[in-house]
Amino acid sequence: MKQYLFIMSTLLLCLAVCTGTSMADAQKGPAEIILKSTLDPAKKVKRAFFPHEKHQKRFDCATCHHAQSDDGQQVAYKEGQKIAKCESCHNTKSGIDKKLETFKKAAHARCRACHKKRKKEGKEAGPIKCKGCHRKNIQ
């Protein structure tokens, strides 16, 4: 009887750990994201492919994500914090710096700058040219 209880307890513990791990992974968001602006769409909308899971395996969330304080200033992302859509702050009505006022401008500035920096450092880097993210077959 003791052996049976030990085995069952061990199995339940393993199940709890595995379930907790898969739930944590599920909270990290989708593996791939198709990015497009809805608030300030360009005249010719060019959706972009973003390999989210690939980035998650290499970087902390705060590498890409940040938040906004009550007074509108950019603040660092804290693990577990709700992540809002970029364009909730990066839009033409927000009054932020013109270089970052739209989702398109913010994404190009942040993503391309990181890709260029990594390439310069001799590290594996993402695309810098348009077709690297803006693929023809994206729905």
- Both tokens of residue 56? 């998650």
pLDDT band at residue 129 under the 50/70/90 scheme: very high
Q: Is the pLDDT of residue 54 over 90?
A: yes
Q: Is the pLDDT of residue 118 over 90?
A: yes
* Model confidence, pTM: 0.69
Give pairs for 10-17: CB < 8 Å, separation 24+. none
Q: What is the CATH number of domain 31-133?
A: 3.90.10.10
Q: What is the DSSP letter of 72?
A: S
Which pLDDT tens digit goes with each residue over 32-44?
999 988 887 777 7
pLDDT band at residue 14 under the 50/70/90 scheme: low
Answer with the residue of higher pLDDT: 125 or 15. 125
pLDDT band at residue 52 under the 50/70/90 scheme: very high
Which pLDDT tens digit goes with each residue over 68-107?
888 878 899 988 888 888 888 888 888 888 899 888 999 9
Q: What is the pLDDT of residue 12?
A: 57
State how far the alpha carbon of 6 is from the alpha carbons of 3, 16, 20, 133, in Å.
Answer: 5, 15, 21, 52
Average pLDDT over residues 35-58: 86
Answer with the residue of higher pLDDT: 86 or 18. 86
Q: What is the DSSP letter of 86?
A: G
- Both tokens of residue 25? 């992974």
Answer with the residue of higher pLDDT: 135 or 121. 121
